[in-house]
Structure 1
Amino acid sequence: MIQSLIGFIALFLLLYLTEKRRFINAVVLGLLGLFIVREIIMHYPLLLPNEQGIVSEMGIVILLGSFPSVMFILSIAMFFNSKVLLEKEGRKFRNLLLAIVGLSFFIMMIWYVFIIFINIQHPIWHILFFYAFLIFGYTMFLYTSVLAYATVYHFTPLTYEPNYIIALGSGLIGDRVPPLLASRLDEAVKQYKKNGARPVIIVSGGQGNDERVSEAYAMKKYIVDVHHLPEQKVLMEDKSTNTEQNMAFSKAIMDAHAQGRKYRSLFVTNNFHVFRASIYAKRAKLDAEGVGSKTAFYYLPNAFTREFIGLLEMYKWVHVTVFLFITLFVGIILRAYV
């Protein structure tokens, strides 16, 4: 057990120290967590077999009862969070996302109770639940792994002084910087002052259909007017429409501004967005780590869930392949009973 644990930890540290901005790092961290939980369960006294090799009755109760209990608690928490979001952020479909996820949790709980405790005999019901559980379990494993790794990445301190600080846009209200974007700009200025006012700030964001000016223009105006930084210390990238373009277009500006000199940069975004943005920075061949600005706590669960869906989309063919393998595996089992 000790050798396997050391091996898992060594693999994670190797991946993490060589390149933090990889999705596989989150998966390995999740597998490490699963291994530790498995060992705890295997050595927990209530779950140990007795002399006849039978798991204790208390252990069975814990195993069977924990799943629906956790599902019920999480579903209630998600419904409550969506209610708060609708009240504070408006009646938008994206604010219902967590409620939809909570509904899936609730359905899984009801299905589990129906299958396990009502003692349904027909094997097809058990196989279908097994299929749903595998898909659900795979998704929740990835979600938990990404959440844990994003937290580790967010709290990893920077060990270098950047030459450039990229502030990523997040949308305007007309020509006004909203609180979410203001928190990013405030953090960018904080990093600027922390590094002796030497870096150049790049504000990155184009103009949306419902915006009067480009995000970059409004962001620069906010920094100059509110924080009183010199205009020449703030460069504008005003063509991008998403994070991938934020990174690529900002890199082009830095390459031109540096005039062949080597440089390092950091990017600033909200804390829930740092990990996914770091992967886009890596894809743009940008030598930059991320710093997260604070986000209202009630906003975090829904926002991170959207981030997780975005990460799934980035690696969609890997996940589609896994889903196909799961479907094929369950299909073979189902064929044996039909």
Structure 2
Amino acid sequence: MPGFFTLLFAALGIALAARDSRRLLPGVLLTLAATSLVSAVVVFVLGIGGVILVSLTGPGGDVAAVLLIFIVPLLAGVGLGVALVGNGIVMLRREGRSLANRLSLLAGVGVLAILALGVVAVLARWFEFAVIVLLLAGPIGYVGMGFVSYLCWSAVYARIARRGPAPAAIVTLGSGLRRDGSVPPLLAQRVALGVETLQRSPDAVLVLSGGQGPDEPRSEAAGMAEHAAGLGAPPERLVIEDSSRTTEENLTLTREILAERGITGPVLAVTSDYHAFRAATLLRTLGMPGNAIGARTARYYRPSALLREYLALLRDHRLLNIIAVGVLMVPVIAFVAISLIQLLAD
């Protein structure tokens, strides 16, 4: 049966990816296929390990095998939590104390807190609390599995996007200027990739997309255009879109400008690597043909940035995710309600 589901998930994932790779569902299905396969292998290996332990240690081997099943995931979870906390501290030191920069720290603290609560509940024999923690594995697992799928599929999509058709327009997405109006390193990397792609696409134009924020002396598009010209981009091939405030507006307003100029064909959105997949999903939602690619960012910056983008992706599909998490929370709510009724009855 595990083999059947592995093949089913894999086949559906590949078919949907071939149809349109700019959505998360193929990644979810392929992640489920991989999880099913890995689970079958782990069960098989642990089964053999349990037999060996029993043969070597007698009945105590059963206990050792069960402990092994729980200790390995526990240690992996602790390692993940510690790594996220460490990254969060680095982010706060290098990037400031904004909420976005605290995401990896908050995620790490959350992982460690849930693991600690589970261990304490088991050791203290708090049956009701242990059951609640166990039931929370459903909604937490849903969000966690989605994040793993997002990480894996966005990496696969990055390779697919670079093999897409030649673009009619390259759209570099803004990300904020310095207070003096200059282009910061992260945005400079986007512009450089846009100019590099323009030089390989003789029939395309380069759209610099980004409005003016309240703390910026000029529009992001103006700053990017100046930077692109400094990198050798021909001024006659540059198009300015300087009214947008969000990624969705970047793409929507760019579509209008391209339509006015009679430019048709696929677009290639250029952004940062952590943001590329979500930009691609917005292209799909807006019905725009094309793909999105990303310029490299510093390794320490990616964990918080990826968490932020995943939360934005969940928000973009909020109704589906609210329903899914709500359904998975039903057992938790039901157990808490039954426990309170019994407590009041006593």
Q: Any unmatched runs of 5+ in structure 1? A: none
SS at match of 2:328: helix
Kindly indicate whether residue 183 of structure 2 is the aligned counterpart of residue 177 of structure 1: yes
Task: Give the aligned partner of residue 218 of structure 1.
Answer: 223
Aligned residue runs from structure 1 range 154-173, under 5 A: 154-156=158-160, 157-173=162-178
2:305 pairs, out of 295, 303, 306, with 303
2:244 pairs, out of 240, 256, 259, with 240
Kindly indicate whether residue 303 of structure 2 is the aligned counterpart of residue 271 of structure 1: no
What residue identity is the alignment partner of 1:326?
L
CA distance in 1, matches of 2:111, 2:3: 35
CA distance in 1, matches of 2:322, 2:48: 35
Aligned residue runs from structure 1 range 1-338, under 5 A: 1-46=2-47, 56-116=62-122, 118=123, 120=125, 122-156=126-160, 157-174=162-179, 175-195=181-201, 197-224=202-229, 226-258=230-262, 262-334=264-336, 338=342
What residue identity is the alignment partner of 2:259?
D
Q: 1:237 to 1:61 in 2, by over 3 A?
A: same
Q: How many residues align?
A: 331
The 8 Å contact of residues 24 and 149 in structure 2, kept in 1 or not, is answered as no
1:34 deviates by 1.9
SS at match of 2:217: coil
Q: Any unmatched runs of 5+ in structure 2? A: none
Q: Deviations over 1:104-131 (max 9, x none)?
A: 0111121121123x150x4311222123
The 8 Å contact of residues 121 and 130 in structure 2, kept in 1 or not, is answered as yes
Q: 1:45 to 1:95 in 2, by over 3 A?
A: closer
1:336 deviates by 5.3
1:48 deviates by 7.0
Deviation larger for 36-45 or 273-282: 36-45
1:6 deviates by 2.7
Identity of aligned residues (%): 25
CA distance in 2, matches of 1:129, 1:181: 43
1:38 deviates by 1.8
Deviation larger for 210-219 or 151-160: 151-160
Q: 1:2 to 1:191 in 2, by over 3 A?
A: same
CA distance in 2, matches of 1:93, 1:264: 36
What residue identity is the alignment partner of 1:313?
R
The 8 Å contact of residues 167 and 265 in structure 2, kept in 1 or not, is answered as yes
TM-score, normalisation: structure 2:
0.89
1:331 deviates by 3.2
CA distance in 1, matches of 2:5, 2:130: 33
CA distance in 2, matches of 1:251, 1:71: 44
The 8 Å contact of residues 267 and 290 in structure 1, kept in 2 or not, is answered as yes
SS at match of 1:36: helix
The 8 Å contact of residues 67 and 109 in structure 1, kept in 2 or not, is answered as no
Deviation larger for 314-323 or 40-49: 40-49
TM-score, normalisation: structure 1:
0.91
Q: 1:25 to 1:172 in 2, by over 3 A?
A: same
1:333 deviates by 4.0
CA distance in 1, matches of 2:292, 2:100: 25
CA distance in 2, matches of 1:207, 1:334: 50
**RMSD of aligned Cα (Å):** 2.1
SS at match of 1:128: helix
1:93 deviates by 3.0
CA distance in 2, matches of 1:86, 1:336: 43
CA distance in 2, matches of 1:74, 1:287: 38
Q: Deviations over 1:199-242 (max 9, x none)?
A: 10001101100011111111111101x21222110000111100
The 8 Å contact of residues 204 and 237 in structure 1, kept in 2 or not, is answered as yes
What residue identity is the alignment partner of 1:289?
N
